[in-house]
């Protein structure tokens, strides 16, 4: 029961944006020193972690502290939504930057099948949609209603995102072509390590295109 109270307190402090109090809460209790990661990933009755609340309320200093302390950037609540879902839906651009820096996934789907990008497009958050796409978020993932981020992106936003993806594909294709056509990369002997390394790079490149 004591653990539940602790979890709720940590979540509430993150929600309220009380950075210094949250620091003190974690550092003052010696019993937490050996379970800092657990505290950073504490969940409340909704399955939300402190990071969920920090992302929702754009408490970026708290988010950085949590992530530096071992918070899972891809932790899911009871609806399988992540902090990235919260940030995208609320239009918290700086938070999205932070989450991406800490390697948060851009293509996780919640219980409705929505990705963070879908929520950003649905809320007409232009920059918050462009940023995940620049980092590999898919504009083609369907939710349970068989709708994609591209389909719900209104007017100009949809065109912008499509052009971004097409530009990325063209750049990857160009990289693949360079890999294939560099004469020094290929060796007559198939057992040559250089040959196999180059083949691995080409296949990896092709997978990104496809």
Domain positions in the chain: 2-153, 166-210
**Helices then strands (H, E): number in the chain?**
12, 0
Task: Give residue-wise pLDDT tens across range 161-196.
Answer: 999 999 887 666 555 655 555 555 444 444 444 444
Distance CA 187, CA 181 (A): 12
165 and 133 Cβ atoms separated by less than 8 Å: yes
What is the torsion angle, in degrees rounded to the nearest 10, for the CA atoms of residue 12, residue 14, residue 20 and residue 26? 80
Predicted local distance difference test score (pLDDT) of residue 4: 36
Q: Residue 28 above 70 pLDDT?
A: no
CA distance 165 to 171: 10
Question: Which has the higher per-residue pLDDT, 116 or 207?
Answer: 116
Element spanning 15, H or E:
helix 2-16
pTM above 0.85, yes or no: no
Of 5-9, 47-51, 56-60, 127-131, give the lowest mean pLDDT range.
5-9
Q: Which of 90, 79, 9 is nearest to 44 (CA)?
A: 9
pLDDT band at 146 (very low <50, low <70, confident <90, very high): very high
**What's the rounded mean pLDDT across residues 18-33?**
57
**Is 1.25.40.20 the CATH classification of the domain at 2-153?**
yes
Q: Is the pLDDT of residue 141 over 90?
A: yes
**What is the per-residue pLDDT across 53-80, written as a single tens digit (0 to 9) for each?**
899 989 888 899 889 888 999 999 999 9
Query: By three-state DSSP, how is residue 135 classified?
Result: coil
The confidence band for 38, taking pLDDT boundaries of 50, 70 and 90, is low
């Amino acid at each position: 029961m004591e653990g539940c109270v602790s979890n709720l307190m940590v979540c509430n402090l993150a929600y309220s944006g009380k950075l210094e109090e949250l620091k003190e809460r974690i550092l003052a209790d010696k019993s937490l020193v050996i379970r800092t990661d657990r505290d950073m990933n504490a969940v409340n009755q909704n399955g939300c972690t402190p990071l969920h609340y920090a992302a929702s309320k754009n408490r970026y200093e708290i988010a950085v502290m949590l992530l530096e302390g071992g918070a899972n950037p891809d932790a899911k609540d009871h609806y399988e939504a992540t902090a990235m879902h919260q940030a995208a839906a609320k239009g918290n651009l700086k938070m999205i930057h932070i989450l991406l820096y800490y390697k948060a996934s851009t293509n996780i789907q919640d219980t409705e099948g929505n990705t963070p990008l879908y929520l950003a497009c649905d809320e007409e958050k232009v920059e918050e949609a462009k940023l995940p796409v620049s980092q590999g978020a898919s504009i083609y993932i369907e939710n349970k209603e068989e709708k994609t981020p591209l389909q719900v992106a209104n007017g100009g936003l949809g065109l912008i995102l499509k052009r971004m993806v097409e530009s990325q594909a063209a750049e990857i294709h160009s990289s693949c072509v360079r890999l294939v056509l560099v004469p020094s990369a290929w060796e007559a002997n198939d057992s040559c390590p250089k040959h196999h390394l180059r083949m691995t790079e080409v296949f990896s490149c092709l997978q990104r295109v496809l």
